[in-house]
Amino acid sequence: MSATRSARVLLSTLAVAVMLSVAGPVQGQSASIGADVVSRYVWRGTDFGESMSVQPALTLGFGGLEVGAWGSYSISASGAGANENDLWATYTVAASNGSSFSFGFTDYYFPAPGADGFFVTDAHILELSASFTGPESFPISLYAGRMSRNDPDNSLYLEASIPVSAFEEVDMSLTAGMVAGESAFYGTEGTAFVNLGISASTDLVITDEFSVPFTVSYIVNANRLGEEDHMDHDHDHGPDPDRAFLVFGFSLSP
């Protein structure tokens, strides 16, 4: 599927969602807005922008179908080369035991200053994905995403995460993400773990009636490349091999 066709399909899906929302309330219909503020935007083991970022999100839901827009914008002008504005859609099927399967795609677009316009085919990267969330008795989450356009390696990313309920009032989770093969997009010369992390989340109480979800994560990109490869990467928007991050973030929503 070409990026142009993919963008048209996603925009058509969003248009249908908007028309359904305008048509009036229906069972299973929902809408949500919010934004995260993060000390660093670290995605799959790569720091995008080397700056604190604000990440707004808009989601529309219609039963098992969700469509939305998500962005990340550096608060520093020097990090604007990593600005991101994505459109996505997922369809989720729930099983009777509480587990669920989801299938979707994401259209990645990077509106850096001077970058190609939104309707330029080469400005978009498309990823097709599938995920599984286990039942309460075994709440593991599995994700697989393959780049299918504007990535000559068709990079395959695999991730597993599981919650750790060993602490009161703090939710913890472990994550392991890897790239299955050589990928210029992720900066790997073969299969490599690029996203190993532990996250701790809690509610930051502001008043008796208002609290803010707060998360701290320690992330390691365990992919190792040679010194020359390290020097060649553009850290505004490029892979970060053999690097560790300690980041925090909080979420705001109505």
* 11: CATH: 2.40.160.40
So what's the pLDDT on residue 235? 42
Give the closest residue to 217 by CA, choosing from 33, 34, 35, 43.
43
So what's the pLDDT on residue 189? 93
So what's the pLDDT on residue 209? 85
Q: Low-confidence residues of the chain, pLDDT below 70?
A: 1-27, 225-238
Number of domains making up the chain = 1
Give pTM, 2 decimals. Answer: 0.86
Averaged pLDDT of the chain? 87
Q: Quickly count: other Cβ atoms within 10 Å of residue 22's Cβ.
A: 7
Centroid of chain to Cα 233: 21
Contact 179, 192 (CB under 8 A): yes
So what's the pLDDT on residue 232? 42
Give the closest residue to 198 by CA, choosing from 157, 240, 246.
246
So what's the pLDDT on residue 176? 98
So what's the pLDDT on residue 159? 98
The whole domain housing 105 covers 3-252
So what's the pLDDT on residue 27? 62
- DSSP code per residue over 152-214: TT--EEEEEEEEE--SSS-EEEEEEEEE-S-BTTTTBSSSEEEEEEEEEEEEEEEETTEEEEE
So what's the pLDDT on residue 8? 58
So what's the pLDDT on residue 10? 55
